[in-house]
Chain A
């Protein structure tokens, strides 16, 4: 039986890989970044069980890593696909890590000594990492990588400190990029989504006002393994925030940004984040500004009801028109029309969290022509028949799951991932029957 190619190592790609590998199919899992895990690895807790996100994800990540049927290609991208279902020739470009994976033990000594700091992608820019770094403590594989655009050796020809301190002799500045050629029977794209950057929505002041954060930044801020150890120290002055507002539909459900759709998970993750604030400090004031409260998922309504009745989270229907910053206190005043009473009102808070649109990953535009599949008008992978063939693209043997074909939550992504594994297994069974 031929292997299957899975593109993207977030929760959807992980689940698809594990389903296939567990039944005995070889899998090549290609991940663009230094570690698998995706966005779920960055979340603090997951609703409704309030399980720590990385705690339930890490065992699956490690299962992928140890699985004899799964080969993980990190810092890699798919650059070529020829052939048809049952017989795809794939080219995978592996970018150099500048660290020998067979030697690195992930001890972290190199990062400790490295003199160059850069914003940490994992901490959503709120914390820093070094030029040589481990993506995050539970990264899989736990191997350091050098950011060549930041490293002093690659940019200025000096330093080489990491090479000197590495006890394993794993640093390898000469490492070259490498093209791997594979023959696979099916392809599963699970490349995920990005969050809309709200800097263009000037009236909310993101980027200008330090205490206006995106939801992903907030997840890191409230996470015990985040830059503040889970204390809600707001960025402007480190003051612990007890009065927080969430604004829904930022960049979504509006024609002006080009993302007129509902992002499906923001109402419920904002509710979860609001409850987390209350769990940390029950006397906090938390307000969620929403347009329509989306409670369509299993258990959503019950969770929202509890957020209101038990935790005292306040929901106000209305899209705020503007946020103003007090130049001295750096507190934020939200101006909004309360549509329940039809009046313009204002609310002063310590911190504002923008729940922004889930938008297509920018890499989709590069990957779609390589895979020979279509994008919709927003840039999500297009599924031709969302009713009868919800994970199939226009190209036989190429499947999609998770939020790469439209925003969806974790359970839907996981179920769909298994669905793509089923389709790939059907392909394999058909190929075998032919032989």
Chain B
């Protein structure tokens, strides 16, 4: 007997209802085969709307639920849980997107929008009739973590995870822990000595009973999935293998060496901010007048991003040398002294006589050298004239750039990089330190340029995110996965080649087999299999055909 289907059409306030005739759509839905019940809601996602779904499931003995509203991207989990609370398996739920893909894009043609909404619901109902319940496999989580990178971010993440009661291994490619902080003299905004932060931290990390540190070590292979990653390490020439439940990417970033820019690499009086930092540390800054140029190699066509920390790094260094009686000019495009701490730093610099001159991106400063000194010419929009500055030292504020092996690591972990080559989070706003892949997280400058405090905040953040599955000890994975029909599989291995998640392997008979916990349900294997031996649960050929045929039917 055909399952009993309920349809809930959301008005989304006026987002849908102003363009789609919702009552007419509801009446139409009632005429569709299998639909026992249909109603409209002001906001189906509100607690009230969710209660209406539950009531209707009970009252009308619904076996399948269709919500016609916004996007499954944000709202499917919510409606699925609601169905489960009323005793309907979450995989018996289907969504029709009549807002983002209908009312919002057809605002100027409401009649057609209404017809399209009907089409989309007819398709969803046709698929819903063929849906099958799914079971979500539960997997054990190894309560230990791998932290890749032993800079301040990696160490702080490791310490917090260890303090929360889980074992951690830090893998650091250099000889020493500390990362980029090793090259710093002082830290903004409070100009603490870097060593005062770093030394106690390294001591706590290396003496913590739950933390194991592998220096001069590189991650060579990663297989598996949340709760159960097999890690291969090259530890100073020796191969080592172990298993962890979660992975944290804290590989940091590099400072750009701007060869060829503003005479850098050609004239020894031209240095980067980090080189100036080391000169300050060694007490070897003897220049009388120092000119700093911001955005040296960033906010450009080649690197179209702002590196966030360079203005504050420049202002801090400017204060340090100004306090020693040096004259300092900072040539900037837009001063990125955001928030309360950096605003204070900017004001302090101005009080201490550091001079700020704005230049325009399209008219960058021109640097020439003579034995007597450097000459910096620029057009200053603030005073609306050309300015010439003699300088004994030129300091370039260069951006952070991704580490050289970011791409290799991203491929090993199967996590994405953004267009600038930094690691890309699952969602810019609401999942800023998660990857879309479960069990893998990112913090610090591997994610994007940021200050030490901001990196520490993210490091602690990933320590919470990673500890959630470790504290729970078990996780459920989605039932949307592929399944290989062993009677049809010819063992050609095409699916293994195309799977982007390493989720298919050959069994002892040489036939393909899906590893349920690793499969993300992308469907590439199902589409590629020449023998049609692979079924994608929740997106079976029958379901998609029914949906397609419904689309072609006259409303």
The answer to whether A430 has its CB under 8 Å from any CB of chain B is: yes
The answer to whether A48 has its CB under 8 Å from any CB of chain B is: yes
Roughly how many angstroms separate A190 CA and B165 CA in the complex, as a whole number? 26
Q: Mark A151-170, 1 if CB is under 8 A from B, else 0.
A: 00000000000000000000
A125-172 interface with B by 8 A CB criterion? 137-142
Q: Mark A49-61, 1 if CB is under 8 A from B, else 0.
A: 1011001111110
**A341 and B384: CB pair below 8 A?**
yes
Roughly how many angstroms separate A262 CA and B338 CA in the complex, as a whole number? 5
Contact of A419 (CB < 8 Å), options: B14, B163, B464: B464
**A386 and B428: CB pair below 8 A?**
no
The answer to whether A388 has its CB under 8 Å from any CB of chain B is: yes
**A55 and B70: CB pair below 8 A?**
yes
Interface centre among B160, B340, B448 (most CB of A within 10 A): B340
Residues from chain B with Cβ under 8 Å of A376 in the complex: 340
**B308 and A296: CB pair below 8 A?**
yes
Contact of A56 (CB < 8 Å), options: B304, B430, B451: B430
B420-468 interface with A by 8 A CB criterion? 422, 427-433, 447-448, 451-454, 456-465, 467-468
Interface centre among B46, B160, B337, B360 (most CB of A within 10 A): B46
**B13 and A225: CB pair below 8 A?**
yes
The answer to whether A9 has its CB under 8 Å from any CB of chain B is: no
Residues from chain B with Cβ under 8 Å of A48 in the complex: 428
**B48 and A106: CB pair below 8 A?**
yes
Contact of A342 (CB < 8 Å), options: B47, B48, B192, B381: B381
The answer to whether A415 has its CB under 8 Å from any CB of chain B is: yes
Kindly provide the distance from the CB of B419 to the nearest chain A CB, expressed in whole angstroms: 8
**B164 and A422: CB pair below 8 A?**
yes
Residues from chain B with Cβ under 8 Å of A390 in the complex: 453-454, 456-457, 460
The answer to whether B137 has its CB under 8 Å from any CB of chain A is: no
Given contacts A137-B13, A378-B340, contact A414 B48 (CB under 8 A): no
Residues from chain A with Cβ under 8 Å of B360 in the complex: 340
Contact of B77 (CB < 8 Å), options: A59, A142, A423, A429: A59
**A55 and B75: CB pair below 8 A?**
yes
Roughly how many angstroms separate A105 CA and B48 CA in the complex, as a whole number? 7
Roughly how many angstroms separate A52 CA and B14 CA in the complex, as a whole number? 14
Roughly how many angstroms separate A163 CA and B201 CA in the complex, as a whole number? 62
Roughly how many angstroms separate A224 CA and B262 CA in the complex, as a whole number? 50
The answer to whether B197 has its CB under 8 Å from any CB of chain A is: yes
| B residues in contact (CB < 8 Å) with A | 13-15, 18, 42-43, 45-48, 50-51, 70-71, 74-75, 77-78, 81, 160, 163-165, 187, 189-190, 192, 197, 201, 299, 304-306, 308, 311, 334-344, 347, 360, 381-384, 418-419, 422, 427-433, 447-448, 451-454, 456-465, 467-468, 471-472
The 18 listed contacts between A and B (C-beta, < 8 Å) are: A60-B430, A141-B47, A262-B342, A292-B336, A299-B305, A341-B384, A385-B190, A386-B341, A387-B453, A406-B339, A411-B430, A412-B454, A412-B457, A414-B461, A416-B461, A419-B464, A422-B460, A425-B471
18 additional contacts (CB under 8 A) given A15-B430, A298-B447: A19-B464, A23-B472, A46-B429, A137-B46, A260-B347, A292-B334, A298-B418, A298-B428, A340-B381, A341-B381, A388-B456, A411-B428, A411-B430, A415-B461, A418-B464, A419-B458, A422-B463, A430-B163
